Structures are given as C-alpha cells and as structure tokens.
Structure 1
Amino acid sequence: MRYTLRQLEIFLATAHHQNVTKAAEELSMSQSAASGALKDLETQFDVQLFDRVGKRLQTNEFGNRVRIRAEALLAQAKELEHELSQHDKVGHIKVGATLTIGNYLCVDLIKQYIRESPGTQVKLEVANTESIARAILNFDIDLGLVEGELHHPDLDIVNWRKDSLICFCSPSHPLAQKTHITDKDLLAAKWILREPGSGTRQTFDRAMSGLTPSLDIELELQHTEAIKRAVENGLGISCLSEIALQTAFDRKTLVPINIPSRDFTRHFYFVIHKHKYRAAGILKWMGICNIDFETIDKL
C-alpha cells in the first residue's frame, strides 16, 4: 500500500483547518512533519490535493473527492481499532439538532442512548438547519436531526416524524378573541419570527405564501424561548412548533390562533452524509430514532 492512515489523518486535518500548522497542532506533531507527509502523499501519486491561496490551503475538486473516501476509510479504521481494543462496541457520538428538536426531543433520545450503552457520551450541537447541514458535509458531526427541508447530492435525508407549527399570541392580544382570522388580520399584526435559514421559518414562509413579503416582521430571533417571552409581553404574534408551545397553552400564558386556511404541517428529518461510515454508535442512534437502515442504504 502506497499511502498510510497517518498521511490520510494529516490530509483530513489540513482540509478541515485549511492550514498545516493548525492540523499539526491537532495531531500533536511538528509543522514540518505534517507538511512533509502531505508532500509525500501528493508526490507518491503525482496529484495535487489543495489549491494554495496565501497561507490557506483549500481542497480542490480532486481533493474533495479524495476527502470523502478518506473520511469513510478512517472511520472504519477507528471502528476496527475500537473493537480490537475490546472497548464497548457502541462509542461516543456527535449529533446535530435544530432548535426545536434539540430543546424538546433530544434529551429523551440521549437519555435512552446512554442508558442502553453505559460509558458512552453524546455531544449535541444545536443550530439551524443550514448550519447542521454544513457540519455534516464537513464531517464535524456524525448525523443530524433537522426541521428544514434539505437537498444535497452528498446527504441521505429521511423523514423522521411529523410536526406542525401553530400561530399564537398573548391572551390580551386582539386576535386571541377572534374565531375567524383573515389575511387582513395577519397583515395587520406585528410578527416575531425565527431567523431565515431555520426550518421553522422555512415552513412558516411556505404556509404564508402570497403574504410573506407584506408581513410586518417586528423581530427575528434565534431562540424559541425568547420568541415566546416577547409574545407573552405583547410585542407581537408568532408561529412555532406545537412541541414548544403545549406547556404555555396549558398554563394559558399563550393562546393558539386558528388559521385553517393555511397548512403548517411539516416533517422532521434524519440526515447523514452518504459516505459516512455507519459505526455502531450511529446504528444505535438510528435504532432509537426508528430509522430504517435498509431504506437509507437504498438511497
């Protein structure tokens, strides 16, 4: 074999940081040794993996293709090392989740994962759909659970569970007493919404098709609880997942606004890189989420 796993580690670390020095620091080696290993790898196969822009190294088109294969190969090698060292088969896992899922659903999933696999850890990253997709494509996290719709040739995206958004206001808001909400009412209201790029905003904009450009958007906030507090204090009305609102509805600090003319239904999605090696921890998480392994393998 004309390449080593260490060379691939250095290549991947450099691709991630776009800098040899930072890659060397991550791998606890000298900058000169890392540079030499990269040069040897390219020379051995007479290829160029990076475009050099000043001090920054950016993987070129060929380098990106190699990176995908190298990520999968190293993941398998680490899994083999894990099994040979006789550790637990199910290991640590890095999960990305969008705000609603991360705040209201992931705790139970993490609890079950740890309970069924003692000694393991779950690292949870909460961000919007676009950020989670970028992290998966960059192999920064193992998998994602997202609210927004995605389309990318390198991602496997599977329906996970259904959800629905609900518009809501404070009990003292004029719309709280109305049984029939018109488009004129929606246009007259001040709105407090999630930021563009979030799955919640994507569903809201689609449901409000035809009205969205004319809505009076007072605030755009990244955090569900901040939106709920703003609405409670009479700053406007909003629209969030029913999962995030049930407790407030039960306490009557917020009240739903019924808009039957608009469709706020959506899906949550399980997302993973097509070339991500399905290690035992990933398969375990998929099982907890009731994701069909065979369905993903056929995508």
Structure 2
Amino acid sequence: MKYSFRQLEVFLAAAHFQNITRAAESLAMSQSAASSALKELENQFDIQLFDRVGKRLQLNELGRLYRPKAESLLAQATELEQAFSKHSEVGALKVGATLTIGNYLAVGVMAKYMNTPTRPKVSLEVANTSSIARRVWDFELDIGLIEGELQSPELEVIPWREDELTVFCSPSHPLARKQALTDEDLRQAVWIMREPGSGTRQSFERGMHGLLPDLNILLELEHTEAIKRAVEADLGIGCLSKVVLADAFKRGSLVPLSVPDYRKFDRQFYFILHKQKYRSAGIARWMSLCQELQPARTGPL
C-alpha cells in the first residue's frame, strides 16, 4: 500500500482547517512532519489535492472528490481497530440536531446511547437546519437530525418521525377566547417567530401560504424557549412544535389556537447523513434508539 492512514489523517485535517499548522496541532504532530506527510501523499501518486494561497490550503476539485472516500476509509479503520481491541462496537458520536429535536428529544437518546459499560461519548450540537446540513456535508458531524425539508445531492435524507406545529398564545390574549381563528385573525395578529433558515419557519410559511406578505412579525428569535416566554408575556402569538409546547399546555401557561383546517402544519423529522459517510455501528445504534421514540400511531403526537 503506497499511502498510510497517517497521511490520510493529515489530508483530512488540512482539508478541515485549511492550514497545515493547525492541522498538525490537531494531530499532535510537528508542522514539518504534517507538511511532509501531505507532500509525500501527493508525490506518491503525482497529484495535487490543494490549491496553495499563501499559508491557506483550499481543496481543489480532486481533493473534494477524494475527501469523502478518505473519511469513509478512516471511519472503517477506526471501527476495525476498536473491534481488534475488544472494545464496544458502539463508539463516540458527533450528532447535530435542530432546536426542537436537540432540546426536547435528543438528550433522552443520548442518555440511552451512553448507558453502556464502555460509556461512549456523544457530542451534541444544536443549530438550525441549514447549519446542521452544512456541518454534515463537511464531515464535521456524523449524523444530523433536522426538522426542515432539504435538497442536497451529497446528503441522504431519511424520514424519521412525524411532527405538527401548533399556533398558540397566552391565556390572557384576546384570541384565546375564540373557538376558531379566521385568516383575518391571523393577518391582524402580532407574531413571534423562529428565524428564517429554521425548519419550524419553513413549515410555518408553507402552512401560511397566501398570507405571508400580510403577516405582522414583531420578533424573529433563534430559541424556542425565548419565543414561549415572549408569548407568555403577551407580546404576540407563536407557532411551534407540539413537542415543544406539551408541558406549557399542561400547566396552562400557554393555550393552543384553532386555525382553519386548510392551514396544514404537519411535517416530518429527518435523519441526514453524507452519502459517502461510513455507517458505523454507532450511527446504526443511534438511529435505532431514535426510532424507539416514534409515537404510537393511535396516540397523540
């Protein structure tokens, strides 16, 4: 074999940091050793994987082509090494999740995943759909859990579970006394919403087709708890997942509002993975645990 796994590690670290010094530091190598490893890899095959601009390394077309293959090969090698060492096949995992999933569903899955004799670590990053998709595409996350629709030739989007948004307000809000809202009520209301780019905002805008230009959106916030607090303070009404609102509805601090039947706010949660990502035992275990959260079809969401 003409190349070593160490050379591949240097290649991937350089692709990530776009700087050989930072790549070397991440691998606990000297700058000269990392630079030599990368140069040897390119020389052995008479190829160039990066465009050099000063101290910056930018993946070229060839480097972008080979990067996912190197990622997959190293992931398989790591799993094989763990098996040879008689360690648990379920290893550390880097997970990304959108806010609704990350704050209300993923933590429970993490607890189950880590509850094994070897205590595998899970790092969880919570961000909006576009951010999670970008980091999965860049191999910075092993798997993403998103609540927005996504089209990407590099990513595999796998349906996970159903969800539904609910329009809500505080018990003291004037609309709380109405049994059913009209489109005119929705136009006249002041809204507290998630930011553009989030899956929740995407689903809301789809359900509000025809009304969007007329809506009075006072605030756009990145955090669901901030939206709930603002609505509780009667700054406006909101629209979030039932998963997020269940406890508040039980307490009575917030109340659901009935919108016209043709305003559909149902949606899907998805797994996303890079199509070139090796499906390790850890990824398979994580997805299995997530599927166990699937609500019964006959019960409430």
**Contact kept? 1:90, 1:117, Cα under 8 Å:** no
Which residue number corresponds to residue 236 of structure 1? 236
Which runs of no fewer than 5 residues in structure 2 stay unpaired?
Answer: 293-301
Structure 2 matches for 1:23-102, cutoff 5 A?
Answer: 23-102=23-102
The structure-2 alpha-carbon separation of the partners of 1:278 and 1:144, relative to structure 1 and needing over 3 Å to count, comes to: same
- State the distance in 2 between where 1:239 and 1:290 align: 25
Deviation at 1:96, TM superposition (A): 0.9
Cα displacement (A) at 1:247? 1.1
Residue equivalent to 2:296: none
Q: Which residue identity is paired with 1:4?
A: S
Aligned residue in 1 for 2:268: 267
Partner residue, 2:170: 170
Equivalent pairs: percent with the same residue?
61
Shift of residue 52, structure 1, vs aligned partner: 2.0
Amino acid at match of 2:110: I
**What letter matches 2:244 in structure 1?**
A
Please tell me whether the aligned partners of residues 97 and 126 of structure 2 are also in contact (alpha carbons under 8 angstroms).
yes
Cα displacement (A) at 1:56: 1.5
Separation in structure 2 between the aligned mates of residue 257 and residue 210 of structure 1, nearest angstrom? 19
Deviation at 1:116, TM superposition (A): 4.7
Root mean square deviation of aligned Cα: 1.3
Instruction: State the Cα deviation string for residues 141-171 of structure 1 (Å, max 9, x = none).
Output: 1101110111111111111000000001111
Matched, 1:115 2:126: no
Change (3 A) 1:53 1:209: farther
Q: Does 2:198 correspond to 1:206?
A: no
Distance across 2 between alignment mates of 1:124 and 1:162: 22
Contact 2:87/2:118 (8 A) holds in 1: no
Distance in 1 of aligned mates of 2:225 and 2:245: 10
Query: What is the CA-CA distance between 1:117 and the residue it aligns to?
Result: 5.6
What is the aligned partner in structure 2 of residue 294 from structure 1? none
Alignment partner, residue 297 of structure 2: none
Q: Name the aligned partner's letter for residue 27 of structure 1.
A: L
**Correspondence 1:154 to 2:154:** yes
Amino acid at match of 2:78: K
C-alpha separation in 2, matches of 1:8 and 1:121: 24
Whole-Å separation in 2 of the counterparts to 1:157 and 1:141: 15
Shift, 1:114, TM fit: 2.2
Which 4+ runs in 1 deviate beyond 3 A? none
**What letter matches 1:279 in structure 2?**
S
What amino acid does structure 1 have at the position aligned with 2:36? G
The equivalent residue for 1:227 is 227
TM-score by length of 1: 0.94
* Deviation digits for residues 37-79 of structure 1 (CA, Å, limit 9, x no counterpart): 2122112212111122332211111101110100000111111
1:117–1:148 Cα change, 3 Å: farther
| Residue in 2 that maps onto 1:295 | none
Aligned to 1:288: 289
TM-score (norm 2): 0.93
CA distance in 2, matches of 1:69, 1:186: 50
How far off is 1:214 after superposition? Answer: 2.2
Q: Does the Cα contact within 8 Å between 2:24 and 2:30 map onto a contact in 1?
A: yes
